[in-house]
Amino acid sequence: MKRVALLGSTALFGAGVMANTAMAADGIKLSVGGFFNEAYMATFDDDKEGDLGNERNTDGFFNDAEIHFDGKTTLDNGLEVGARVELEGEDDADQIDEAWVFFSGGFGEVRIGSQDDALANACILPPGGTANFSAFSPNQWGANNDVFAQNFPALTSNAACIGVDDKEDAQKLVYISPVFGGFQLTMSYTPNGGDESHVDGVGPHIGMPVNEDGESRHNFAAYGTYTYEGDGWGLTAGGGGSFEGHVEQSPGPNRDEQQFYQGAVNVTFGQFSVGGVFEYYNNLVKFSGGDDTDAWVAGGGVAYNMDAWTFGAQYSHQKSDTDGSGSDGDADFTMDRAVVTANYALGPGIDLDGEVGYTWLDTDPETADHVDDYQALEIGIGTAITF
């Protein structure tokens, strides 16, 4: 008993010493930041009866905004502790975007909360896009392909930075390593891919979250980056994967686990930059005894900086292949998108940007004329303000 008491006293003494040495000189200091993107777009597409553009407006104003609350302090032992909450700038069903606490020091940074997984958090995309416009899942997309995408196993906007979580900002643990010789590693673990907010059972609670049919659990992602700065040139490369650990089975056909893989390389030569990206979506849709759909997105981009101006161009190609082991038969779907962009730095944190974009679709076999032959030309101008 004396030995146990001695060990207990020693542990308490050690904890007290650590607490004393880890005191903060100041309390948490709160800062406010964020962004506001606004764009005007006009889209000219197939709009006859039955076409995807039918009964769609030609133009409109569109915005995306967030207010970021960051609070942090540095303890006497050098450990930085803080939290971040991202508030949506519009009346959104998901009023809080991301929210996490973090601990940062010589070991790297640990984040816990609602946020992207490692692949989506650290992934690299080609140059040539702007805050509003891109060929890879842009902030603003004019082509009217969303109506059929809900019923066809395809990515709606040629996304190339997506992880496997059912909800992108599901509650998770993220670790970001220090930079060693240009290398950095980001890893994440998600207990349940569909649990993001209090409504999902991850706020104040009694008991553990319910495992919904078809939801993923125990997901893991890792992404590594390498950056090199040479004499008049530079290189940035990245690669990694995102993996579902288990999918909750349902009374009907069971869904297989997904695995997504992504890689990208960008090179800069003075004011010119060029790069490419590829993401493969394994088991994007796969049910036992049914159709098996895999997909991939690939493309590239270039940019040229001239004083306050940056001119860019991007191209992306998506291909989704369905193996019709079920009743629907084999089917292929492709979506191509090309954009040219311009960005003008009006002042610190204030950009004006614009685009001309073209999107076209193809199906094999031709599931419907309005899908197979759909084409859309879009013109956009916008502004991006960060604060």
Per the model's pLDDT, the better-predicted residue between 23 and 304 turns out to be 304
Q: What pTM did the predictor assign?
A: 0.89
Q: Quick: pLDDT tens for 79-130.
A: 999 999 999 987 666 788 899 999 999 999 999 999 999 999 999 999 999 9
Secondary structure tally for the chain: helices H, strands E: 4, 17
- Domains of the chain are 29-55+66-200+216-386 (2.40.160.10)
383, pLDDT greater than 50: yes
Lowest mean pLDDT among 176-180, 181-185, 255-259, 348-352: 255-259
What is the per-residue pLDDT across 153-176, written as a single tens digit (0 to 9) for each? 568 899 999 999 999 999 999 999
Average pLDDT over every residue of 356-368: 83
- The string of pLDDT tens digits covering residues 204-216 is 888 888 888 889 9
Please state the rounded mean pLDDT for residues 240-262.
89
**CA nearest 120: which of 46, 193, 57?**
193
- Which of the four pLDDT bands, split at 50, 70 and 90, describes residue 329? low
Mean pLDDT of the chain: 88
The pLDDT-based confidence of 221 (bands split at 50, 70, 90) is very high
Asked whether residue 2 carries a pLDDT value surpassing 70, the answer given is no
Distance CA 5, CA 2 (A): 5
Q: Which of 177, 33, 34 is nearest to 104 (CA)?
A: 177
Work out whether the CA dihedral 147, 319, 314, 37 comes out positive or negative: positive
Amino acid found at 147: V
Q: Would you place residue 249 in the very low, low, confident or very high pLDDT band (cuts 50, 70, 90)? A: confident
Instruction: Give me the mean pLDDT over the 274-291 stretch.
Output: 87
Q: Are 239 and 231 in contact (CB under 8 A)?
A: no
Asked whether residue 10 carries a pLDDT value surpassing 60, the answer given is no
Token pair 């992404």 in the structure block, residue: 223
Name the residue with higher pLDDT: 15 or 39. Answer: 39
Q: Which DSSP helix (H) or strand (E) runs through 146? A: helix 146-149
Q: What is the pLDDT of residues 185-203, one digit of tens each?
A: 999 999 999 988 888 878 8
User: Which one is predicted more confidently, 322 or 349?
Assistant: 349
- Per-residue pLDDT, averaged over 251-275, amounts to 93
CB 173 within 8 A of CB 188: yes
- Tell whether the model's pLDDT for residue 31 goes beyond 70: yes
The pLDDT > 70 percentage for the chain reads 87
Lowest mean pLDDT, pick from 42-51, 112-121, 191-200, 285-294 = 285-294
